[in-house]
Structure 1
Amino acid sequence: MKRTFDTLFIRLSLMTVGLIVAGHFMALLLIDQARARIDAQRSINTMVVAAQVREQDPALADQVAQTLGIQYVGVDKALAVGCPAPCTDTNGPFEETLRPKLGPGSHVLVESDNGNVWVRKDNASYWIVIPAFMPPLSHFMGFSALTLMGAVIVAVLFAWQVQRPVRALARAAREYRIGRGVHRVPEAGPRELRELASDFNDMVSELAEAERERSVMLAGIAHDLRTPITRLQLRADLLAIPADRAAFLRETESMSRIVTQFLDFARESVNQSAFVGVEEHCRRDYGAQHDDDALVKLDLRAGEGFQLPAVDLDRILSNLIENALTYGEPPVEVSTSKEEGRYVLRVRDHGAGVPEDDLHRVQRPFVRLDAARSGEAHCGLGLAIVRRLVRHHDGTMVVSNAAQGGFVVTMSFPYPRKAD
């Protein structure tokens, strides 16, 4: 199952954003602890001065309170003046820092709305109300959230830029693998990625050149063989014995089919013929859908939207059906359907199938499994040609053995598959 979020971009984004968020909240925690210590020390100094003045010179205490901005509030008047009910200790980094320094039995509470501090030493008849020296941390949360959001956006953009060269490299490798030619990858990004892109471009260029040389050689040999094969077919008419003439013509026909497969395999470009309906093509070329005596039986359920280029579709079906009739046993079942948003085309014979260990190997060029599926008119290119054509049209091909016996080729194409 394909995991949508299992990509380099998502992983880089999650890692970078996670580190930013963790660092941000760690910084907030350290800042909150530091400001709690500073605020606590100031409150202690203010309270000591206020308490000493109150005890030594009550008349001077009011002037000091006005200068320091503090207030003396009797215990019995605390609730009326504004002490948060029930006027008991609150807990937080600031209170936990201040309370032990005031001595046993001391009380500290902080108003949540404005940050004012209420302090009362043990057995004192009054509270000392100290105005907030520093704004509470909540006042900074808006700016902190904005900063965090900006950092996350920058991190996501950075992750996107980092993964772009890797994404381009993966796309070019996929295009080359399915036979869509060589696409050079821009040499961008960090040095290691630029070197990787450069090496990839050189590699695929050399592979493409080798493939072109092989295709040219293969096409040249096949083309040069056509003329002597044609001459052999003409000279067959000079044979006096009909049986020898028929056998000779069968051999030359086999050679001609092999040459045709060579040329099909050597062809690199996608055919530009008009699109036709797959089901219409099957009915026209392979007979009635419900004919029990037919060598080819049809089960067509995909609908008219399933279309492919006429020449490529003919090459796909002719190769598969010919292989099925030559190597397997009739009837050959050709079926179409819609499955999970894709058009599916299946071709199945009723022969002995292919050994499980050879299912992957049988799709390679020039591979013939003589022990299981023998034949004289093929060179092992049929499935390779079909596989290349299917990939040219964004399709996938899977070969398998049917549970009831026989060899099955399943091809799926994107939905809808029709001419643009």
Structure 2
Amino acid sequence: MNNPFNTLFGRLALMTVSLIVLVHITSILLVERDREGLAVTQAARALTLANQVQTKHRDASAAVASLLGLSFVDPHAALATGCPAPCTDTYGPFERDLRRRLPAGSHVVAGGDTLWVQFPPASHAKGGDASGNEWIALRNVVLPVSRYLGASTLTLALAIIVAVLGAWRLQRPLRQLAHAAREFRVGHRATAVQESGPREVRELIGDFNEMVHELELSEQERAVMLAGLAHDLRAPITRMQVRADLLPDEANRAGFMRDAESLSRIVTQFLDFARDAADPSPRTQVDQHCRRHYGDSLADEALVALKLQAGDGFSLPLVDLDRILSNLIENAFTYGDAPVEIATVSRQGSYTLTVRDHGAGIPPDQLERALRPFVRLDAARGGDAHCGLGLAIVRRLARYNGGSFAAANVAGGGFAVTLTFGEAARSA
């Protein structure tokens, strides 16, 4: 299973979200602690001032209460006025800090956003005036923790969403570039990637688009050259075949005909390699085609063995399928040993065509080189109509039909080429 954090988007999102969460936690631990200390100090000063005014200047207590946003409540009316029942001390962090700043014996009750404080009689006027034992209700001084945490959580969630969207937008141009590069690497025609993102990314995408354009031009020039050369050679090869057929000597005639046939096959390979699209010929069912040409027509099963299990849903253009099989089977008989196995399988919406021989295989260090055009591992076979294009042609034909190409040595001995096709290979 792929690790979702082993991507640019995953790492950017993880780094940004981790930083936001760290800042959020720091804000709760440090900023909130300082904010609470400041609120305790301000509340203690306001309450002390109100208590002193009430004790020494009762005529000014109403004006001071209005200015400080508090009120004096008779002890018998506290519950009815809003003091949380049973109107006894509460012991939250705010109340504990505030109680340390007030005279000993003060009662502190926190209820919602209102703070209720009752000073001890000793702190009031001489004689212990009962009116001085009133409750002081200070409003809008203590914000409930749930309100702060709710707002903080909402801010955190919005910040995380913005961070994830930003990371996604930042990696999207690189993701598109990686997809285009992968498509171009496997031989599919890559469309120009839209230049977006930071300046460095835009410059990278621009350089990639120019590189792909120049490589496509070079590939087109090579294909035109090969196609033109092949077409020019067809006429003299045909004349050689006609003149060879007129030779009176049977041995010379047969030799000239073999050479002309070899040249004709090389020219055909050049033309197949120079093509840049799938053949428009009618589609045919792969299993039926294999049985008809390599099963029923061959009496000796020791040469070709069929394991066809894809069913009637697997189809390819007739000309492309014939060229794929002819190249693979010719390579198998030329470089490997019989029997040559042709197998098809249908698996989860895809189809697989495998051709395997039972020879010695290809040395692992030469495998990648063997798949390159015009490369022959056995130079001695170069004169027998072999120009090193067989596997390259098969790989191109597979890609033109929406398939993938894989070649490897088989553990039990031999060399196998596997072509996998998706929904495009399904019969209509």
TM-score, normalised to structure 1, is 0.82
Query: Which one of 403, 421, 425 corresponds to residue 413 of structure 1?
Result: 421
- Larger CA deviation: 376-385 vs 285-294: 285-294
**Structure 1 residues 223 and 372: CA distance shift in structure 2, 3 A:** closer
CA, structure 1 residues 290+155, in 2 after alignment: closer, same or farther (shift >3 Å)? farther
| Local SS of the residue matching 2:425 | coil
| 2:9/2:168 contact within 8 Å kept | yes
Cα drift, residue 379 of structure 1: 0.9
Say whether 1:213 aligns with 2:224: no
Partner residue of 2:33?
33
1:382 pairs, out of 375, 383, 390, with 390
From 353, 356, 359, the counterpart of 1:351: 359
Map 1:23-172 onto structure 2 (within 5 A): 23-24=23-24, 26-27=26-27, 31-49=31-49, 68-69=70-71, 90-92=91-93, 94-95=94-95, 97-102=97-102, 110-111=110-111, 113-114=112-113, 116=115, 130-134=137-141, 135-172=143-180
Give the deviation of 1:414 after TM superposition. Answer: 2.1
Deviation per CA, 1:247-266: give whole Å up to 9, x if none.
Answer: 33222222221111111111
- Cα pair 2:356 2:416 within 8 Å, conserved: yes
1:69 counterpart SS class: strand
Aligned to 2:182: 174
- 8 Å contact kept, 1:298–1:333: yes
Shift in Å at residue 65 of structure 1?
10
**1:47/1:285 CA distance change after superposition, 3 Å:** same
Answering whether residue 336 of structure 2 is matched by residue 334 of structure 1, we say no
Q: Tell me how far 1:106 sits from its aligned partner.
A: 7.8
Residue 324 of structure 1: CA displacement? 0.6
Question: Retained in 1: the 8 A contact 2:351–2:421?
Answer: yes
What code does the residue aligned with 1:37 have? G
Aligned length: 415
Decide whether the 8 Å contact of 2:87 with 2:109 is kept in 1: no
Structure 1 residues 272 and 3, CA, compared in 2 at 3 Å: closer, same or farther? farther
Instruction: State the alpha-carbon separation in 2 of the partners of residues 328 and 372 from structure 1.
Output: 15
Q: CA shift at 1:97, angstroms?
A: 4.4
Tell me how far 1:333 sits from its aligned partner: 0.4
Rate the CA distance shift 1:366–1:164 in 2: closer, same or farther, 3 A: same
Distance 2:298 2:368 in 1: 33
Q: Is the 8 A contact 2:401 2:424 kept in 1?
A: no
The answer to whether the 8 A contact 2:50-2:65 is kept is: no
Q: Which amino acid aligns with 2:44?
A: I
CA deviation after TM superposition for structure 1 residue 96, in Å: 6.0
Per-residue Cα deviation, 1:314-367 (whole angstroms, up to 9, x for no partner):
221111111111111111101111345532211101111111211222111111
8 A Cα contact 2:305 2:342, kept in partner: yes
Q: 249, 268, 279: which one pairs with 1:260?
A: 268
Letter in 1 for 2:71: G
Q: TM-score, normalised by structure 2?
A: 0.80
The residue type equivalent to 1:45 in the other structure is R
Distance 1:415 1:22, change over 3 A: farther
Unaligned runs of 5+ in 2: none
Q: Deviations over 1:123-165 (max 9, x none)?
A: 9998966544333243355555555444444444433433333
Equivalent residues in 2 for 1:267-286, closer than 5 Å: 267-286=275-294
Unaligned ranges ≥5, structure 1: none
Show the counterpart of 1:370. 378
Output one character per residue of 1:74-113: Cα deviation in whole Å (capped at 9) or x when no partner.
9xx99xx966789566343x346435545889886644x4
Tell me: CA distance 1:85–1:254, structure 2 relative to 1, closer, same or farther (3 Å). Answer: farther
Structure 1 residues 273 and 26: alpha-carbon distance in aligned structure 2, compared to 1, 3 A threshold: farther
**Cα distance 1:311–1:90, how it changes in 2: closer, same or farther (>3 A)?**
farther
Q: Percent identity?
A: 50
**2:231 is equivalent to residue 229 of structure 1:** no
Distance 1:419 1:339 in 2: 15
